[in-house]
Structure 1
Amino acid sequence: MAATATDQSADPGTRVWVRGRAAIALGYERASLGIADVLADQALALTDRPSLGLLNAIHVKAHGAMLKTCGSVSGWHAEGVPSRMIL
């Protein structure tokens, strides 16, 4: 996994970007929202410096919280919000 490879790096920005990007991809593909949530948590724990990776992590956490709160139905989520608007 790319996150493991970037852990060898001394660059926290790269580590955050890789985790944030992977979390977004997993969320959009609905491959594993649980793993997306874990990767987002890891990115958030690495730094609070603003970056695209951190924004991606926050995005995943927000959508995950919305889905947990509002639930989902195949194709439509959160009382009529089209699925293209949701991870």
Structure 2
Amino acid sequence: MVDLIYRSEAAKLSFMAGINNVYDRGVMMFVEWSMFFIFPMLWVGVLSWAGMSVGSAVQSSLSNSTQIAQSAGSEGGNKLQGAATKMARK
């Protein structure tokens, strides 16, 4: 891409013809700047957002599964305590 822009005849003819190429140089500088700064920042932002979403989903599923296990354990403990109380009364 750099070869195509800077091999043009306008860049080689004279100082005045080179002024026409200032726009091309500006575009190239913007593209290079965005490739080194803007695109990596966007990429890191997208990966951070995806990581937060996956982490939130995993946390939600783990908390739901522990609530189910906790309620099952509590219910089993209550039944066992009731059975032990009945055995102690006899």
Question: Between Structure 1 and Structure 2, whose CA radius of gyration is higher?
Answer: 2
Normalised by the length of structure 1, the TM-score is 0.30
Q: Name the structure where strand makes up a greater proportion of residues.
A: 1
Q: Name the structure where helix makes up a greater proportion of residues.
A: 2
